[in-house]
A and B are shown apart, each in its own frame.
Chain A
């Protein structure tokens, strides 16, 4: 239920380091599960866990062939079940997401209990052969992850962003991919992957989320049986120290392409959870976060330099990225216009309208996110660590309290650290 914008998850501990969070709601026609396994982020473990998520997704002890596993999911009215690898700050997350149709919308069949059994199988009954994962499956899935890493090269926007983070924060969580690197993926063996699996099951911090029209007590009881995790003391995840600095301030690289990709990295001392966090969100909204922002209005609408020009605030790392696709010959002009927008904000050129618009957009974005089951899980998951009860009203008030001077102060703390320009060969 929502009371004053507070989203209630009922949290219980299944074992030390393993927490279950349930939210009962009639909002959705489906029930969503999310099980998050967390461990410290480094290149080697990222690679291991990315391949592990693929291997667990491929098959398990009950369904040893991928096609059998997929057929069974189809039969459960297309229950969606996937493992994925992601990162947040200095933490690697291997997650299992499951979404299944609420039984009441099905005319005859009931699938909920079967889905719970399947979650147990997917996590606790791996497809082992002589005590390790099946070597041929491990090899195929390593190849899949390698292809995924390599596909970045074939998408110019993603590649330019990848290069910027490499240059801006070398050997730092900000530039470590949740998939690891080609080298670290290649080193994986069935034995190393089996060890990684065991440490995930026995040592990771685990959060389990359930959202849907369910009987809370019954689900708590069933999940306690379906997820027999043992007590663990999860490894402490240390915040990155931010000692990593760019190799150089300007880098230009060339490929066979038409458009120029201008990606700029800025730093801010303000991180998620800091007192100034709400102010930085407003700063970013006015700078380039929305269609009313300075970047959109000037780079695109006024100067016709680009189709897209925007900024994004990566609060876990204290970074702001600006991205734009331009005619290569306009590189200097576009860079100047982008810098001018920041300068204007440093000089206090921030209108009441820009503040009002940005505040309204932030509130709307948060409320819209909470209309999705996944959104409710992600927001609760992120904010629960702040040690306060999350509510829309609290954040609305924080944003509303932000003044023009606050935003100006945020702008004055922003530092341009690296410019990366990717363009065609003749430019």
Chain B
């Protein structure tokens, strides 16, 4: 077992790569009664074209399958796994993102029992045509729920505008039509390819003894047999750097228009510390330009172009990346115009004073976030899958300069990389 100390943060992380390839990280937390455990596979909605384990030809599976698989992991021959977690007083959950599927629980008692439940249910698939078909009604309602959410439609509308080919533009849950095609065989193919321990990471944070927990996990894993790990071959079509659609709108039953300006990232091939430095730089640039202390914010606030829904965010993974900036607004076109003016003129707006101020804010953010076990476990996993280390964030921020921030921003700055998506009130609404 390796020990990694983060002196300034007063944290010690324990790590071991098990013989079956599973990466296990344990972070003990003093003074807490809770333990939070995540078991994550590097497999998300974008992994739709790949070579199945043991085969040589790539296949494309129906959209929404990673999420469907996540749902179906909870059902076993002898019933629902939630029942077991509840009996131990553990809150269990799972989520599927573009790049990851995570299974997790938090609890204050019976930690070993729930850890065992977690490891076993994720490593013992049970799919039948009957249970697969039954799930279609449940997920169908989940999809319908999102279809009615204007904010979700706005988010995906903007991403769809940006991407020509990349599957990040496909809704994580798929569509009613695409999930209808899913079979138990599909689920086994995806499971066997992506749920090998060597493609997974277990993170334990909380009130635990690291040595005891590590040997408990090892014992559990050593009892199981897995095939030799093989590299997974995922396939993606080439993606142009310019956006697919410059401007588009959707009518919905809302009272107030919503708008996002999307900025498509050119640099999506980084990993490790270079990626960490790059994404922190872009985030700091956006905060300087659009944050509550910016001239932009004062202007759009005083002119009534935004409300409390105003937000900006930058997402980056291997193969895709984008910034989204927007708000509910009675004048979405004017707001979009002003957002673009700022990005187009960013070199003149960024100053070392504002960069230094936002760096301090960001350091404070990371220190506050380290109170949250959920943040640590989820973010650590995401960072690790991109060969970055969460605990390096503060020292990397401390070293960033104005020049770094300006350079990083250039990768999302070009006019051909900009798109606008709006959700507008449908005209037939009766008042």
Residues of A participating in the B interface, judged by any CB pair closer than 8 Å:
25-30, 65-68, 70-71, 73-80, 99-101, 105, 107, 140, 143-144, 147-148, 150-151, 153-157, 255-259, 290-292, 296-297, 300-301, 304-308, 325-327, 353, 356-358, 360-361, 363-365, 367-368, 370-373
Question: 15 new A-B pairs (CB below 8 Å) besides A26-B31, A74-B360?
Answer: A29-B367, A29-B368, A78-B361, A140-B304, A148-B308, A150-B255, A151-B309, A154-B328, A255-B253, A256-B252, A259-B148, A291-B85, A292-B83, A357-B87, A360-B109
Most chain B beta carbons < 10 A, residue from A78, A140, A356:
A78
Measured in the bound complex, the distance between the Cα atoms of B292 and A67 in whole Å is 6
Chain A interface: which of B88-96, B315-323, B400-408, B413-421?
B88-96
The contact of A290 among B86, B141, B302, by CB within 8 Å, is B86
B429 within 8 A of A: yes
B106 within 8 A of A: yes
B144-166 contacts to A, CB under 8 A, are: 144-145, 147-151
Q: Considering the complex, give the chain B residue whose CB is closest to the CB of A79.
A: B364
| A327 B31 Cβ-Cβ under 8 A | no
The contact of B256 among A147, A157, A356, A365, by CB within 8 Å, is A147
| B89 A360 Cβ-Cβ under 8 A | yes
| B90 A364 Cβ-Cβ under 8 A | yes
Chain A: minimal CB distance from B230 (Å)? 35
Contacts of B83 in A (CB 8 A): 292, 353, 357
Measured in the bound complex, the distance between the Cα atoms of B30 and A25 in whole Å is 11
Measured in the bound complex, the distance between the Cα atoms of B293 and A76 in whole Å is 14
Q: Considering the complex, give the chain B residue whose CB is closest to the CB of A372.
A: B371
Contacts of B88 in A (CB 8 A): 360
Measured in the bound complex, the distance between the Cα atoms of B93 and A291 in whole Å is 10
- Given A306-B141, A363-B89 in contact, is the A71-B293 Cβ separation under 8 Å? yes
| B141 A301 Cβ-Cβ under 8 A | no
| B370 A29 Cβ-Cβ under 8 A | yes
Contacts of A292 in B (CB 8 A): 80, 82-83, 86-87
Enumerate the 10 nearest inter-chain pairs by beta-carbon distance, A residue then B residue, closest first: A78-B364, A360-B89, A304-B137, A77-B364, A78-B361, A256-B253, A291-B82, A357-B86, A27-B31, A147-B307
The contact of B360 among A75, A259, A326, by CB within 8 Å, is A75
Most chain B beta carbons < 10 A, residue from A100, A157, A291:
A291
Contacts of B139 in A (CB 8 A): 307
Chain B: minimal CB distance from A135 (Å)? 13
| A258 B147 Cβ-Cβ under 8 A | yes
| A307 B138 Cβ-Cβ under 8 A | yes
B42-93 contacts to A, CB under 8 A, are: 80, 82-83, 85-92
Chain B contact-residue range equals 35 or more
Contacts of A71 in B (CB 8 A): 293, 357
B291 within 8 A of A: yes
B275 within 8 A of A: no
Contacts of A154 in B (CB 8 A): 150, 254-256, 328
- Mark contacts of B381-399 with chain A using CB atoms, 8 A cut-off: 1 yes-contact digit, 0 otherwise: 0000000000000000000
Contacts of B8 in A (CB 8 A): 105, 107
B107 within 8 A of A: yes
Measured in the bound complex, the distance between the Cα atoms of B304 and A100 in whole Å is 31
B299-343 contacts to A, CB under 8 A, are: 301-302, 304, 307-309, 328
| A306 B138 Cβ-Cβ under 8 A | yes
Measured in the bound complex, the distance between the Cα atoms of B6 and A253 in whole Å is 57
Most chain A beta carbons < 10 A, residue from B85, B92, B309:
B85
Measured in the bound complex, the distance between the Cα atoms of B353 and A67 in whole Å is 14
Measured in the bound complex, the distance between the Cα atoms of B295 and A379 in whole Å is 40
| A307 B142 Cβ-Cβ under 8 A | yes
Contacts of B124 in A (CB 8 A): none
Contacts of B135 in A (CB 8 A): 304
Measured in the bound complex, the distance between the Cα atoms of B149 and A298 in whole Å is 26
B350-379 contacts to A, CB under 8 A, are: 357-358, 360-365, 367-368, 370-371
Q: Considering the complex, give the chain B residue whose CB is closest to the CB of A65.
A: B298
Measured in the bound complex, the distance between the Cα atoms of B47 and A399 in whole Å is 46
| B253 A307 Cβ-Cβ under 8 A | no
Measured in the bound complex, the distance between the Cα atoms of B308 and A20 in whole Å is 32
- Given A258-B148, A367-B34 in contact, is the A144-B361 Cβ separation under 8 Å? no
B10 within 8 A of A: yes
| B357 A75 Cβ-Cβ under 8 A | yes
Contacts of A304 in B (CB 8 A): 134-138
Chain A: minimal CB distance from B171 (Å)? 14
Chain B: minimal CB distance from A422 (Å)? 10
Contacts of A327 in B (CB 8 A): 140-141, 144
| A144 B307 Cβ-Cβ under 8 A | yes
Chain B: minimal CB distance from A96 (Å)? 17
Q: Considering the complex, give the chain A residue whose CB is closest to the CB of B75.
A: A301
Measured in the bound complex, the distance between the Cα atoms of B32 and A318 in whole Å is 33
Q: Considering the complex, give the chain A residue whose CB is closest to the CB of B9.
A: A105
Can you identify 12 A-B contacts, CB atoms within 8 angstroms? A26-B31, A100-B364, A150-B255, A151-B256, A259-B144, A290-B82, A304-B138, A305-B137, A357-B86, A367-B34, A371-B32, A373-B371
Chain A: minimal CB distance from B361 (Å)? 4
Q: Considering the complex, give the chain B residue whose CB is closest to the CB of A301.
A: B80
- Given A77-B367, A367-B108, A373-B371 in contact, is the A70-B144 Cβ separation under 8 Å? no
Contacts of A150 in B (CB 8 A): 255-256
B238-269 contacts to A, CB under 8 A, are: 252-256
Chain A: minimal CB distance from B387 (Å)? 26
| B256 A99 Cβ-Cβ under 8 A | no
Contacts of B32 in A (CB 8 A): 27, 371
| A143 B145 Cβ-Cβ under 8 A | no
The contact of A66 among B256, B301, B360, by CB within 8 Å, is B301
Q: Considering the complex, give the chain B residue whose CB is closest to the CB of A150.
A: B255
Contacts of B365 in A (CB 8 A): 78
B12 within 8 A of A: no
The contact of B31 among A25, A107, A256, A307, by CB within 8 Å, is A25
